[in-house]
Structure 1
Amino acid sequence: MAMNDYNMNAFPTTIDAPREETASLLAKVLGITSLGFLITAIGVATAPPWGTLPGLIIVFGLVFGISFTRKASPTLALGLFLALTYFMGWQIGPLIQHYIRNFGPGIVFNAAATTAAGMGVMGCIAYLFNINYRRIAGIGFAALLLLIIAGIASMFFRFLSPDMFSWLTLGIFSLLTIGDFARIRAGGDGRSAVSLALSIYLDAINIFLAVLQLMGGRRSRS
């Protein structure tokens, strides 16, 4: 993406689609995302203990598949998205089962409820204020790249604690979530409902895992 994509003057923050159109798009995105979370729950319940790495590889492959098919075949893109949500359950399933064994199912429920409430608040913020979603996306992805680099470096130098990493993850994906909801409010920026649902879904998954880590760390110290 060209650097001038983040220019505030070149891309004003006003809504560029009728309210009825954005409401319909939001309904489609939330419907697809909600179905995805339901399938992820099934994936978590059926995940084998060794499912993390295969799930990660398959999820990455399906993300690329969706990016190539979202315009040519929206139906196929939707099918790939639903498959992705199942294998995301494989990827995160062993971790969630670890928390359930050590702290009980309540911690997972609380993390999921906190994530849902937070997503609702961030959606309201995006719809109440004019937000330059392109600038938010640029800042968020740059911060995410730096966090990934810092996380890798911290594996060797131990300067980033798990809680600090989780707080930074939570902040970055909260920013990206606001940007993604603002994009929907502005009409989707030419993206399909499946592509937008994928962004919201991945935001929520990362926020959920960060919240779960923070809750687990607090219980471990108590």
Structure 2
Amino acid sequence: MYVNRTNGYPTVIDVPREGTAPLLAKVLGITALGFFITAIGVATAPSWSMLPGFIAVLALVFAINGVKRQSPGLALGLFLGLAFFMGWEIAPIIHMYVRMIGPYVVFQAAMTTGLGMTALACVSYLFSIDYRRLSGIAGAGLLILILVGIVSMFFHFLSPTTYSWMALAIFTALTVADFARIRAGGDGLTATQLALGIYLDAINIFMILLQLFGGGRRRD
């Protein structure tokens, strides 16, 4: 049982599985709404939307973590705004794959992401997982992968496909850790903060799968 002591009072964050069902339902509901808003963002994004979308998403991530529990309604509103501008950020890439290959590759990546996230959630709830350790290892791996990717841009020792598979493995671990955190009671985070973690995991996995499925394919 993990215990986090704040101001001298123990806060138990490992609770019975059935006790976290309402939290999980709330997190998944917020996340699903976020994906719907993202779809609207993709559909309405102008051709120049990637950079403004990226800047807005980055600012809103900090804003959501800043308001925390002080204003849950504001945090939810900021999350939905983030989801919309995430659609702006990824829209040019999605439209490129649709033009080059066709809409099926986007559908395939989205369906695989959904099924994969469901499987990872089941793993997190069926097994006892030290989410703090797993999150730390995966976070360090992601930082190393980013540095390796930057170096590889100059020396070309890592193929894009290999890089994508490595990134997929890291975000898979992060997803398991984030679901395990919910299973443990949330670790003091709000439902919106937890939903943000799951949402960003899913978006990254979707974009990686889109690249893997689209790589080397051409429109017939």
Provide TM-score, normalisation by structure 2.
0.92
Partners of 1:99 and 1:78 lie apart in 2 by 31
- Residue 210 of structure 1 aligns with an amino acid whose one-letter code is I
1:78 equivalent in structure 2: 76
- Residue 183 of structure 1 aligns with an amino acid whose one-letter code is R
2:116 equivalent in structure 1: 118
The partner residue of 1:203 within 195, 201, 204 is 201
Q: Which range moved further: 35-44 or 157-166?
A: 157-166
2:56 equivalent in structure 1: 58
Per-residue CA deviations over 1:133-176 (Å, capped at 9, x if unaligned) read 00010001000000111111111111121111111111000000
2:100–2:219 Cα contact (<8 Å) kept: no
Task: Write out aligned runs for 1:34-49 (5 A).
Answer: 34-49=32-47
Per-residue CA deviations over 1:174-212 (Å, capped at 9, x if unaligned) read 000000000000000111000000000000000000100
1:214 equivalent in structure 2: 212
Partners of 1:149 and 1:19 lie apart in 2 by 38
CA pair 221-133 structure 1, distance change in 2 beyond 3 A: farther
1:160 equivalent in structure 2: 158
TM-aligned CA deviation for residue 18 of structure 1? 3.5
Unaligned runs of 5+ in 1: 6-13
TM-aligned CA deviation for residue 19 of structure 1? 3.4
Percent identical residues:
62
Q: Provide the secondary structure at the position in 1 that maps to 2:165.
A: helix
Q: CA RMSD in A?
A: 1.8
Q: 2:185 matched to 1:187?
A: yes
Q: 2:209 matched to 1:176?
A: no
TM-aligned CA deviation for residue 220 of structure 1? 4.6
Per-residue CA deviations over 1:105-133 (Å, capped at 9, x if unaligned) read 11100100000000011000000100000
1:134–1:179 Cα contact (<8 Å) kept: yes
- Residue 63 of structure 2 aligns with an amino acid whose one-letter code is G
1:9 equivalent in structure 2: none
TM-aligned CA deviation for residue 97 of structure 1? 0.2
Q: Provide the secondary structure at the position in 1 that maps to 2:70.
A: coil
Aligned residues: 210
Q: Provide the secondary structure at the position in 1 that maps to 2:186.
A: coil
Provide TM-score, normalisation by structure 1.
0.91
Unaligned runs of 5+ in 2: 5-11
1:30 equivalent in structure 2: 28
- Residue 62 of structure 1 aligns with an amino acid whose one-letter code is L
